[in-house]
């Protein structure tokens, strides 16, 4: 009798475990939206700021070149 109970527990362990894993991984059980922005968003923001700085420096250099005497070597 105890051997058949042990065999029954062993046989049922796999499907019960699989069912529990499916239950916990279903879409409704996961948190809604990230708490922090993904690293890609932070990197994108940093790169956009760098591009803005470079464009501002380029405009400033062009303005100085247009306003001042010809600086050709």
Q: Is 33 left (phi over 0), alpha (psi -120 to 50) or beta?
A: left
| pLDDT score, position 53 | 96
Distance CA 29, CA 31 (A): 7
What pLDDT is stored for residue 38 in this prediction? 67
Mean pLDDT across the chain, nearest whole number?
83
Q: Can you list the residues of the chain whose pLDDT is less than 50?
A: none
Spans of all domains in the chain: 2-26+38-67
The string of pLDDT tens digits covering residues 16-35 is 999 999 988 888 776 666 56
């Amino acid at each position: 009798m105890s051997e058949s109970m042990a065999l029954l527990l062993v046989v049922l362990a796999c499907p019960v475990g699989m069912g529990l894993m499916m239950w916990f991984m279903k879409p409704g059980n996961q948190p809604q939206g990230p708490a922090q922005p993904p690293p890609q968003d932070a990197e994108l923001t940093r790169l956009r700021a760098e591009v803005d700085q470079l464009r501002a420096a380029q405009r400033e250099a062009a303005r100085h070149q247009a306003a001042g005497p010809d600086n050709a070597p």
